[in-house]
């Protein structure tokens, strides 16, 4: 048979297969939602090729380093989720949890020292929350080169090519949720807003980016004051005092973290304005949750802190215990709580609840 005839027959066979609907078998997409409930796959991005590849490790316990930016109320909830998922896998016999907490949100040197120590000790995995990504990049690269996968959590801007997965939520979605609640609540009414920002950096900039994307489309909302309050309650109090002295007609106080909002509440109470000025917080801390029930807060955004911790361990399990690939972004959606739905929130979400092995 000539080459021409063989090509003619091959083309005819391909045409026939297409005409009757034959398609080549495609590899099934991993069902990540079965592992990470509520994962937003539209947030995922392409792998860089420089991150570690999955590997199934048989040594037990796996050593997991957990490194927040500081051990505040948010990270305590994340840690509770981490501990519960470790329980489900057999506790300390399966995963040994190593926790280091810097002295403050901006104590990047503490994070670098902890990461370098873990690299030297040869831990199996590191989960780290970034405040200053540039400063930690060399350590993340060294960990990867040493065969230690790095998982990020609560890290708003993850530009380095070495991390395996970024776990948490889109920080700008949190700001959008705050702004959308205002739009849904006040409609076309003219409203003056004061904003308590956090420390300058990606957490603040991403949350404000989302907030401004929504609020800029509604000119009836006017931001009359906007000042940093350092993520802490004491500064939330003092900044709110000064803000309302200069702008006594503010009708809504928006805070990018509940600690600052709770400080703002103290300042408003001292001025006799609690219940008269709406407070919209961020994080659904236990005290903020209670403040909604009493009417002192109007709303807060829950970003799934405990679920974030669960997803950290689920990711380690999939990547190192089962040897499965992971999406680059493991994000879930924030949720707004106000007087209408606050009683639906599960209060055990604030605490570590020991779990039985799966």
What the chain holds in terms of domains, given with CATH numbers, is 32-169+305-332 (3.40.50.2300), 172-302 (3.40.50.2300)
- Tens-digit pLDDT profile for residues 10-44: 444 444 334 434 344 334 567 899 999 999 999 99
Alpha-carbon dihedral sign for residues 76, 80, 81, 86: positive
Q: Are 172 and 333 spatial neighbours (Cβ–Cβ below 8 Å)?
A: no
pTM, rounded to two decimals: 0.90
Residue 84 DSSP SS3: helix
Q: Are 315 and 308 spatial neighbours (Cβ–Cβ below 8 Å)?
A: no
What pLDDT score was predicted for residue 103?
A: 87
What is the mean predicted confidence (pLDDT) over 308-327?
98
DSSP 194-246: EEEE-SSSHHHHHHHHHHHHHHTT-TTEEEEEEEE-TTSHHHHHHHHHHHHHH
- Tens-digit pLDDT profile for residues 80-111: 999 999 999 999 999 999 999 998 888 899 99
Checking if the pLDDT of 267 tops 70, the result is: yes
What pLDDT score was predicted for residue 254?
A: 99
Burial of residue 332 (CB within 10 Å: 0-12, 13-18, 19+) is buried
What is the mean predicted confidence (pLDDT) over 175-197?
98
Separation between Cα atoms, residue 134 and residue 76, nearest integer Å: 25
- Tens-digit pLDDT profile for residues 238-264: 999 999 999 999 999 999 999 999 999
């Amino acid at each position: 048979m000539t080459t021409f005839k063989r090509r003619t027959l091959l083309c005819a066979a391909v045409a026939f297969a297409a005409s009757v609907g034959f398609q080549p078998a495609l590899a099934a997409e991993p069902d990540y939602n079965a592992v990470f409930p509520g994962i937003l796959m539209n947030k995922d991005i392409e792998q860089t090729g420089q991150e570690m590849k999955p590997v199934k490790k048989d040594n037990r316990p796996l050593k997991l380093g957990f490194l927040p930016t500081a051990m505040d109320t948010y990270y305590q909830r994340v840690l509770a989720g981490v501990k519960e998922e470790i329980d489900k896998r057999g506790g300390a016999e399966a995963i040994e949890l190593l926790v280091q907490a810097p002295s403050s949100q901006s104590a990047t040197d503490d994070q670098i020292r902890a990461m370098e120590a873990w690299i030297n000790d040869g831990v199996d995995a590191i989960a780290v929350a970034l405040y200053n990504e540039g400063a930690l990049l060399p350590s993340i690269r060294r960990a990867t080169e040493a065969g230690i996968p790095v998982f990020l959590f609560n890290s708003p801007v993850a530009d380095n090519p070495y991390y395996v997965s970024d776990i948490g939520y889109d920080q700008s979605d949190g700001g959008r949720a705050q702004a959308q609640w205002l739009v849904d609540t006040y409609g076309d009414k003219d409203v003056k807003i004061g904003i308590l920002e956090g420390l300058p950096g990606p957490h603040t900039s991403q949350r404000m980016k989302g907030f401004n994307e929504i609020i800029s489309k509604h000119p009836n909302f006017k931001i009359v004051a906007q000042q940093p309050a350092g993520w802490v309650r004491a500064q939330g109090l003092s900044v709110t005092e000064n803000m309302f002295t200069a702008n006594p007609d503010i009708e809504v106080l928006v805070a990018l973290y509940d600690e600052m909002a709770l400080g703002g509440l103290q300042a408003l109470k001292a001025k006799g304005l609690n219940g008269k000025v709406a407070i919209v917080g961020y994080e659904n801390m236990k005290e903020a949750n209670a403040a909604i029930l009493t009417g002192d807060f109007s709303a807060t955004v829950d970003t799934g802190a405990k679920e974030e911790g669960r997803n950290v361990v689920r990711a380690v399990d999939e990547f190192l215990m089962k040897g499965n690939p992971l999406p680059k972004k493991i994000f879930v959606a924030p949720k707004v709580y106000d007087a209408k739905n606050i009683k639906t929130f599960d209060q055990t979400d604030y605490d570590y609840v020991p779990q039985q092995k799966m």
